[in-house]
């Protein structure tokens, strides 16, 4: 229940889309060394350093007849992984015309570099046809007789190349190779190193139906008429589906854009409009934009629409505007205010002013991710941008602020300085995810955003990273499916968590100074992880802090997983050892081997602790790839490691250590901070899951919750307690767990009540607490929710925003078919995105099998459920005990359609696999999942599949280890409480 996130499927905001590693299907794509040609010919696998390049201009020419006389040298292409072995494909690639395609690598060579693109598009939103002309000015980095460029689903109708004097260069052959999305232009003469050329292309394509490239979206106006907009989503590899381009992040260039449109529309681009002029065609208008800054292709964006707008000038004179359909524009003021504020703040934080004259934020009705940081034109899912004070919950409002803060952070991390290659995606996403809590916290100081970091980032990251099927933060990727697959919790949340840990030992000021230096050194350019470490090393050394930043951080970025620190204390002598923590005992082989064996799964751990003598200030010892021992001062009665949970590791204590901490929680829990309480809860329940300690330890610890009043520990506890509920589905422990949770929440439920008041965190807590009460079967809570639901349905009585989720869910769960139909009606007519999203969730709660089935079938009909929402429906239905089997059947039955729809967006594929398989707990179900996926293509969802299978194994393991102990403990405990009730009836509500 507690992950009723308003909208948590957005990969760009760092949400739980832990998706797929490629189960060693890399033979085709692992280029490893710099270049690979097909095996039978002189092959030019050259891996040389810069010194060698200066010394020898190595030129290797192809010699085989029919092979173009392309010339390649050993210029290292940024980001090409050097440790992977290159395996040439077994059959030479064949172009669409049947000829051999001479370039076998999925990466482009770095022979030519684009300087600027002049792109003119004529899209027609009625016919869906797009006509384009493109002039790319490029410079030859190396001598070459071929230009290779990306293009996907594009028909090139003419092409020509000219040298800088305007003299044409004959293009002998033009080849297309769809599997690698590449176009090959074979030239009659050699391009000269350092010279500039102009490539002219005209092309045709269609507006796409999906959620990437240049695609069509639609909404209903106030009269119920359907209106179309055309919009883009390019990250990571879909710019090539809109226009031919060198679609790799290090191939930065300037963009000159113009778009032909009808007068009823207007257009947006990364830069402001320069001019509008009539065209020869009747009534059409040509919009031309100012030249962009130097930027990567995946950040280009343009929109054709008829939206309304609100705007504002920031203190630093950036024109910020929010665009949305007219029916929603009244919900845009909050994001306008927050984005203006955060943009100015980041100017100061990063020490580099935002370089563009404007920043547009636009709500796109069909949007796969949460938002996309296109430079100067950020696109959002409606729920991530629209806020209405009467309707929108605190959680949904927080999401708006957080997503805005995330995307604005990208304007520096990602846009100004871009990762050299996708393997370092975490540099973009980890940083933006780290900054989003800071940015949102600045805009909303009362929200405790920095405290929430633990539950929003660290806990989910630790949870995923404890699987063998996790992956290192820095991970080699080459083809588009692999690239898609790393937009996951590891890049986002583990990335953010290790920066947070770094900040814990160097401090915010040094971190800031290091980041500024990094941005300064690499602006309008690209960087790798090591560039960040060297900037940070430089500033720490300047301040006389002798830390081997790279040495420390490499242990966290190059290896998958994290350590479990096992501590035992004897007579004041502490022994702490480290070992990789894997939650599932029965494991297949490590998919990351042999790449990461070098560090041997040991880490440089900043081991911190507090004790009863010093509960407010922590002490730190470094564990430098080793175990350590040290002595405590006298009179230590308890010790808690990982103070404030700033470190990315877990801790296990000896039995006396756990007892002492449990004692502190039971007697005076506020001795420990809310963060420390949450960290103990998360560790203890996870260690039980792993079979490391007995379930009774976690359950005994959890008893302190009767006195807990804070959101962060409760949120953590709900995650685990309700997971145990769902794991024991069909077992006696199921009802016992619900009964037990009910005894824990009752005092807080009674305290917190049904008035939507208090601080932000109190509101978040109330929402989860009421929902927990309903789940535990609290009659009063169920009746109150049903009463409010009927009042809303029949008398149009508005429900306070933070109570809506529990009221709608309960209303549908205990309601009639008519109640469900009413929600469907509201879903279809509401103009409030947060309300629509609650309806989607509520409709999944029905206990009517026919309605469950109907709802699932709606996901196949795009006119009923938008593709962007399919995942949410499947996930919510799978969480409903009566929905898990129908959802699983549905996904199997319609796998081909689902994969046609989401094949490009791996986070969706992976998330769907996880959503429908996550309730499974038996070997039988494991077998079913394995059998089904054995023969189907999951594309970029492969790592997610491996993670899903491991998770089911983990659930089976939980049963084997804990089912009996949990049942036994709960029986004993609950009968004790019943006795107490009999003796002191007045003390119990
Ligand atoms: C591209 O060419 C193919 C094959 O000739 C054709 O079927 C398709 O309709 C064309 N697409 C566009 C957008 O012109
Ligand atoms: C799109 O096509 C329709 C129908 O042919 C035409 O009326 C309209 O002007 C076209 N719009 C553009 C932008 O070409």
Residues 674-732 pLDDT 10s? 999 999 999 999 999 999 999 999 999 999 999 999 999 999 999 999 999 999 988 99
804 part of a folded domain? no
- Quick one: average pLDDT of 113-136? 98
Residues 519, 535: one domain? yes
pLDDT (mean) for 950-978? 92
Q: Is the domain of 471 the same as that of 534?
A: yes
Rg for the chain, CA atoms, rounded: 29
Average pLDDT over residues 270-286: 93
Which residue's CA lies nearest to atom 12 of ligand 1? Answer: 205
Ligand 2 test: best mutation among 121, 125, 127, 132, most atoms within 8 Å of CB? 127
Q: Give the three-class secondary structure for 482.
A: helix
pLDDT score recorded for residue 4: 30
927 pLDDT above the threshold of 50: yes
Site to probe by mutation for ligand 1, drawn from 124, 155, 242 as the one with most ligand atoms within 8 Å of Cβ, is: 155
Find residue 837's DSSP bridge partners.
Answer: none
Give strand pairing partners of 264. none
| Strand stretches in 325-458, DSSP E | 358-364, 371-372, 377-381, 417-419
More confident residue, 946 or 46: 946
Residue 984 reports pLDDT greater than 70: no
Domain carrying residue 361: 308-411
Same domain, 25 and 125: no
Taking a C-beta distance cutoff of 8 angstroms, is the pair 38, 88 a contact?
yes
Cα(711)–Cα(764) distance, rounded to whole angstroms?
A: 7
- Using CA positions, which residue lies closest to atom 7 of ligand 2? 126
Say whether pLDDT at 23 is over 80. Answer: no
Nearest CA to ligand 1 atom 4: 155
In a domain, 860, yes or no: no
What is the Cα–Cα distance from 307 to 71, expressed in whole angstroms? 50
853: CB partners within 8 A, 6+ apart: 886
The answer to whether the bond into 236 is cis (omega within 30° of 0) is yes
User: Does any domain span residue 470?
Assistant: yes
Counted domains in the chain: 4
Are 19 and 913 a contacting pair, CB within 8 Å? no
Alpha-carbon span 568 to 399, nearest angstrom: 41
CATH number of the domain where residue 546 is located = 1.10.390.10
Which pLDDT belongs to residue 589?
Answer: 59
The answer to whether residues 386 and 504 belong to one domain is: no
Least confident of 108-117, 233-242, 415-424, 934-943: 934-943
How many CA atoms lie less than 13 Å away from 126 in the CB half-sphere? 4
Of ligand 2's listed atoms, the one at least distance from the Cα of 123 is 13
User: Residue ranges for the binding site for Zn(2+)?
Assistant: 406, 410, 429
Query: Contact, 233 vs 191, CB < 8 A?
Result: no
Q: Which of 136-145, 385-394, 480-489 has the lowest mean pLDDT?
A: 480-489
Q: What is the per-residue pLDDT for 553?
A: 96
The answer on 313 and 300 residing in a single domain is: no
Question: What pLDDT band is residue 538 in, cutting at 50, 70 and 90?
Answer: very high
Looking at the domain assignment, is residue 905 inside a domain? no
Residue 349 shares a structural domain with residue 246: no
With CA atoms as reference, report the closest residue to 435 among 508, 384, 505.
508
Q: In the chain, what percentage of residues exceed pLDDT 70?
A: 88
Look up the CATH number of the domain holding residue 169.
2.60.40.1730
Position 888 in a domain: no
Measured in Å, residue 280 CA sits from the centre of ligand 2 at 13
**How far is ligand 2, taken at its centre, from the CA of residue 304, in Å?**
13
Is position 360 within any domain?
Answer: yes
Expressed in angstroms and rounded, the spacing between residue 365 Cα and the centre of ligand 2 is 22
Task: Identify the weakest region by mean pLDDT among 763-777, 859-873, 975-989.
Answer: 975-989
What is the average pLDDT across 756-765?
97
Cβ of 831 less than 6 Å from ligand 1: no
pLDDT tier, 27 (very low <50, low <70, confident <90, very high otherwise): very low
Distance CA 505, CA 879 (A): 40
Residue 71 has pLDDT above 50, yes or no: no
Q: Pocket of ligand 1, candidates 152, 174, 203, 204: which has the most ligand atoms within 8 Å of its Cβ, to mutate?
A: 204
Quick one: pLDDT band at residue 899, thresholds 50, 70, 90?
A: confident
Whether residue 274 has pLDDT greater than 80 = yes
Shared domain for 38 and 185, answered yes or no, is no
Q: How confident is the model at residue 29 (pLDDT cuts 50, 70, 90)?
A: very low
The DSSP secondary-structure symbol of 456 reads I
Q: With CA atoms as reference, report the closest residue to 630 among 576, 680, 558.
A: 576
The structure tokens listed for 805 are 């989720």
pLDDT at residue 20, rounded to an integer: 26
| pLDDT tens-place string over residues 736-759 | 999 999 999 999 999 999 999 999
Last residue of a domain, one of 306, 329, 355: 306
Whether a cis peptide bond, with omega within 30° of 0, leads into 706 is no
- 35 and 147 in a common domain: no
More confident residue, 89 or 249: 249
Q: What is the Cα–Cα distance from 317 to 330, expressed in whole angstroms?
A: 24
Q: Residues 538, 543, 546, 547: is their CA dihedral positive or negative?
A: negative
300 and 369, same domain (yes or no): no
pLDDT of residue 803: 98
Burial of 769 by CB count in 10 Å (0-12 exposed, 13-18 middle, 19+ buried)? Answer: buried
Atom of ligand 1 nearest to the CA of 205: 13
- pLDDT band of residue 484 (cuts 50, 70, 90) is confident
Closest by CA position to 3, among listed 399, 580, 304: 399
Whether residue 505 has pLDDT greater than 70: yes
What DSSP string describes 883-901?
THHHHHHHHHHTHHHHHHH
Residue 677 token pair: 């309480």
Query: d(Cα 734, Cα 27) in Å, to the nearest integer?
Result: 46
Are residues 47 and 107 located together in one domain of the fold? no
Dump pLDDT digits (tens) for 617-676. Answer: 999 999 999 999 999 988 999 999 999 999 999 999 999 999 999 999 999 999 999 999
Of 561, 590, 616, the one marking the end of a domain is: 561
> Do 675 and 715 contact (CB within 8 A), yes or no?
no
Among 413, 239, 432, 400, smallest CA distance to 324 is for: 400
Task: Determine contact, residues 374/269, Cβ cutoff 8 Å.
Answer: no
CA 6/CA 876 separation, integer angstroms: 11
Residue 407 catalytic?
Answer: yes
589-593, 743-747, 975-979: least confident range? 589-593
Residue 378 makes CB contacts below 8 A (sequence gap 6+) with: 359, 360, 361, 362, 371, 372, 407, 408
- The pLDDT assigned to 21 comes to 25
Tell me the per-residue pLDDT of 159-198, one tens digit each, with 9 for 90 and over. Answer: 999 999 999 999 999 999 999 999 999 999 999 999 999 9
Tell whether ligand 1 has an atom less than 6 A from the beta carbon of residue 38.
no
Structure tokens at 627: 């175990």
Tell me phi and psi for residue 619, to 5 degrees.
-110, 150
524 shares a domain with 433: yes
CA distance 805 to 135: 52
Looking at ligand 2, which residue's alpha carbon is closest to its atom 3? 126
Residue 280 is predicted with a pLDDT of: 83
Would the pLDDT of 548 be above 70?
yes
User: What torsion, rounded to 10 degrees, do the Cα atoms 935, 937, 942, 944 define?
Assistant: -90
pLDDT the model gives residue 91: 75
Does residue 845 form part of some domain?
Answer: no
Same domain, yes or no, for 384 and 296? Answer: no
Phi, psi of 770 (to 5 degrees): -65, -40
Task: Compute the average pLDDT of residues 880-907.
Answer: 86
Question: Which range is least confidently modeled, 31-45, 542-556, 614-628, 876-890?
Answer: 31-45
Confidence label for 458 from pLDDT (cuts 50, 70 and 90):
very high
Domain contains 432: yes
Q: Give me the catalytic one of 235, 373, 407, 513.
A: 407
> What angle (nearest 5°) sits at the alpha carbon of residue 213, between those of residues 212 and 214?
115
**Cβ of 155 below 6 Å from ligand 1:** yes
Please answer whether residues 159 and 200 qualify as being in contact, where contact means their C-beta atoms are separated by less than 8 angstroms: yes
19, 904 contact by CB (below 8 A): no
Final residue belonging to a domain, choices 561, 583, 601? 561
Distance, CA 230 to ligand 2 centroid (Å)?
14
Mean pLDDT of all residues belonging to the chain? 89
Does 3 have pLDDT greater than 60? Answer: no
Q: How far is the CA of 130 from the centre of ligand 1 (A)?
A: 11
Let me know: does 122 contact 131? Beta carbons within 8 Å: yes
User: Quick one: tokens of 787?
Assistant: 């009463």
């Amino acid at each position: 229940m507690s992950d009723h996130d308003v909208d948590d499927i957005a990969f760009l905001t760092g949400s739980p889309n832990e998706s797929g590693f490629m189960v060693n299907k890399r033979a085709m794509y692992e280029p490893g060394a710099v270049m690979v040609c097909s095996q039978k010919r002189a092959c030019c696998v050259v891996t040389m350093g810069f010194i060698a390049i200066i010394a020898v201009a190595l030129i290797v020419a192809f010699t085989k007849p029919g092979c173009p006389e392309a010339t390649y040298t050993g210029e290292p292409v940024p980001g090409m992984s050097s440790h992977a072995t290159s395996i040439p494909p077994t059959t030479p690639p064949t172009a669409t015309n049947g000829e051999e395609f001479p370039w076998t690598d999925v990466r482009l060579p770095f022979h030519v570099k684009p300087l600027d693109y002049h792109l003119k598009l004529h899209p027609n939103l009625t016919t869906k046809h797009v006509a384009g002309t493109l002039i790319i000015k490029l410079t030859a980095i190396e001598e070459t007789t071929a230009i290779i460029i990306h293009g996907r689903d594009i028909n090139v109708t003419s092409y020509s190349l000219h040298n800088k004097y305007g003299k044409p260069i004959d293009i002998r052959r033009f080849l297309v190779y769809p599997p690698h999305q590449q176009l090959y232009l074979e030239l009659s003469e050699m391009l000269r190193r350092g010279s500039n050329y102009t490539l002219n292309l005209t092309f045709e394509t269609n507006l796409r139906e999906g959620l990437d490239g240049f695609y069509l979206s639609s909404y209903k106006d106030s009269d119920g008429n359907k209106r179309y907009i055309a919009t883009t989503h390019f990250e990571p590899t879909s710019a090539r589906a809109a226009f031919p381009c060198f679609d790799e992040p290090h191939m930065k260039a300037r963009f000159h854009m113009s778009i032909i449109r009808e007068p009823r529309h207007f257009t947006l681009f990364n830069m402001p409009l320069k001019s509008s002029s009539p065209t020869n065609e009747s009534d059409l208008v040509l919009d031309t934009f100012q030249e962009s800054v130097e930027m990567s292709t995946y950040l280009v964006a343009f929109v054709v629409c008829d939206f309304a707008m609100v705007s504002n000038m920031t203190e630093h004179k950036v024109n910020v505007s929010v665009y949305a359909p007219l029916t929603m524009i009244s919900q845009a003021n909050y994001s306008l205010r927050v984005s203006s504020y955060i943009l100015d703040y980041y100017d100061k934080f990063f020490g580099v002013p935002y370089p563009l004259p404007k920043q547009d934020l636009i709500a796109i009705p069909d949007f796969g991710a949460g938002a996309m940081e296109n430079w100067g034109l950020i696109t959002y899912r409606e729920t991530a941008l629209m806020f209405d004070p009467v309707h929108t919950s605190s959680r949904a409002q927080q999401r708006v602020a957080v997503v805005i803060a995330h995307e604005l952070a990208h304007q520096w991390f990602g846009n100004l300085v871009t990762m050299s290659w996708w393997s370092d995606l975490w540099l973009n996403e980890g940083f933006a995810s780290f900054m989003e809590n800071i940015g949102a916290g600045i805009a909303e100081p009362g929200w405790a955003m920095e405290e929430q970091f633990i539950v929003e980032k660290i806990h989910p990251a630790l949870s995923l990273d404890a699987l063998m099927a996790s992956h290192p933060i820095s991970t080699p990727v080459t083809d588009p499916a692999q690239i898609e697959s790393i937009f996951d919790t590891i890049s986002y949340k583990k990335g953010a968590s290790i920066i947070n840990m770094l900040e814990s030992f160097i401090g915010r000021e040094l971190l800031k100074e290091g980041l500024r230096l990094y941005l300064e050194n690499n602006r309008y350019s690209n960087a790798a992880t090591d560039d960040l470490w060297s900037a940070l090393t430089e500033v720490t050394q300047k301040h006389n802090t002798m830390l081997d930043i790279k040495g420390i951080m490499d242990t966290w970025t190059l290896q998958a997983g994290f350590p479990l620190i096992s501590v035992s204390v004897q007579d004041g002598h502490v022994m702490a050892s480290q070992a990789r923590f894997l939650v599932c005992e029965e494991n297949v082989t490590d998919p990351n081997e042999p790449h990461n064996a070098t560090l041997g799964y040991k880490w440089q751990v900043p081991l911190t602790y507090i004790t009863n003598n010093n509960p407010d200030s922590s002490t730190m010892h470094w564990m430098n790839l080793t175990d350590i021992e040290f002595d405590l001062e006298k009179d230590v009665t308890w010790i808690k490691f990982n103070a404030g949970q700033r470190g990315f590791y877990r801790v296990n204590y000896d039995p006396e250590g756990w007892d002492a901490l449990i004692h502190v929680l039971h007697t005076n829990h506020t001795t420990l901070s809310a963060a420390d309480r949450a960290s103990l809860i998360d560790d203890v329940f996870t260690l039980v899951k792993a079979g490391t300690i007995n379930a009774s330890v976690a359950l005994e610890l959890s008893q302190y919750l009767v006195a807990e009043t804070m959101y962060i520990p409760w949120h953590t506890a709900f995650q685990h307690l309700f997971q145990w509920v769902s794991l024991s589905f069909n077992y006696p422990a199921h009802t016992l767990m619900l009964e037990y949770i009910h005894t824990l929440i009752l005092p807080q439920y009674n305290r917190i009540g049904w008035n939507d008041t208090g601080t932000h965190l109190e509101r978040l807590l109330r929402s989860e607490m009421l929902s927990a009460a309903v789940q535990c079967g609290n009659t009063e809570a169920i009746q109150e929710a049903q009463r409010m639901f009927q009042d809303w349905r029949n008398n149009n009585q508005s429900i306070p925003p933070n109570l809506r989720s529990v009221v709608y869910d309960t209303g549908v769960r205990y309601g009639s078919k008519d109640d469900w139909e009413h929600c469907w009606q509201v879903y279809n007519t509401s103009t409030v995105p947060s309300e629509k999203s609650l309806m989607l969730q509520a409709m999944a709660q029905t206990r009517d099998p026919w309605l469950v089935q109907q709802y699932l079938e709606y996901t196949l009909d795009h006119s009923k459920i938008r593709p962007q929402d399919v995942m949410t429906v499947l996930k919510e239905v799978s969480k409903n005990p009566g929905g898990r089997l129908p959802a699983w059947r549905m996904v199997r039955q319609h796998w081909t359609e689902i994969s046609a729809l989401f094949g490009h967006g791996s986070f969706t594929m992976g998330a769907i696999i996880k959503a429908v398989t996550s309730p499974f707990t038996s070997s039988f179900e494991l077998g079913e999942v394995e059998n089904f996926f054995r023969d189907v293509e999951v594309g970029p969802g492969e790592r997610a599949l491996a993670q899903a299978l491991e998770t089911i194994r983990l659930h089976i393991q939980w049963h084997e280890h804990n089912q009996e102990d949990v049942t036994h403990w709960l029986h004993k405990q609950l009968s004790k409480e019943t006795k107490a009730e009999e003796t002191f009836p007045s003390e119990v509500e």
